[in-house]
């Protein structure tokens, strides 16, 4: 692959056009509907990693930073399984925090 062929610069008119592109590329997939009937989407991270590695790296960096902050604040713990895959679990303090933060918005 020639150096010029490695990456194609993409430009989008607005966020909706970008979201449509992600759906067409199977990077965003419909998961269902929320209580208001709005479509919920999930990332297909394997597809994103393959097709848009820069976006994948940017999102993973943000996720890692947020998880580290939650860990440092004692809101989550980390456990590793036999394959050394990290699993984050909310601590009792974390459960209280998440319930206050996300369920108080429903009231």
Residue 68, in any domain of the structure: no
Residues 16 and 55 in one domain: yes
Domain for residue 95, yes or no?
yes
CB atoms near residue 25 (< 10 Å): 14
Q: What is the pLDDT of residue 14?
A: 81
Is 98 inside a domain boundary? Answer: yes
Decide if 71 contacts 78 (C-beta within 8 A).
Answer: yes
Same domain, 58 and 82: no
Q: What average pLDDT does the structure give for the chain?
A: 87
- Please say whether the beta carbons of 43 and 23 come within 8 A: no
Q: Is residue 43 part of a domain?
A: yes
Give the pairing of strands 76-80 and 39-43: unpaired
pLDDT band for 103, please (50, 70, 90 cuts). confident
Residue 6 within a domain = no
CA atoms of 32 and 61, how far apart (whole Å): 27
- Is residue 45 in a domain? yes
More confident residue, 1 or 13: 13
How many domains is the chain built from?
2
Q: How far apart are CA 41 and CA 27, in angstroms?
A: 10
Has residue 8 got a pLDDT over 60?
A: no
In a domain, 107, yes or no: yes
Look up the domain containing 26 and give its range. 12-62
Which tokens go with 54?
């820069």
> Do 18 and 58 belong to one domain?
yes
* pLDDT above 50 for 52: yes
Given its phi and psi angles, is residue 93 left (phi above 0), alpha (psi -120 to 50 degrees) or beta? alpha
Q: Tell me whether residue 35 is in a domain.
A: yes
């Amino acid at each position: 692959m020639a150096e010029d062929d490695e990456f194609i610069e993409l430009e989008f008119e607005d966020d909706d056009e970008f979201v449509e592109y992600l759906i067409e590329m199977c990077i965003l997939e419909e998961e269902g509907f929320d209580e208001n009937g709005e479509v919920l989407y999930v990332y297909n991270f394997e597809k994103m990693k393959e097709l848009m590695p820069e976006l994948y790296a940017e999102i993973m960096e943000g996720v890692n930073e947020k998880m580290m902050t939650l860990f440092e604040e004692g809101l989550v713990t980390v456990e590793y399984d036999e394959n050394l895959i990290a699993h984050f679990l909310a601590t009792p303090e974390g459960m209280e925090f998440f319930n206050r933060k996300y369920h108080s918005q429903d009231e």
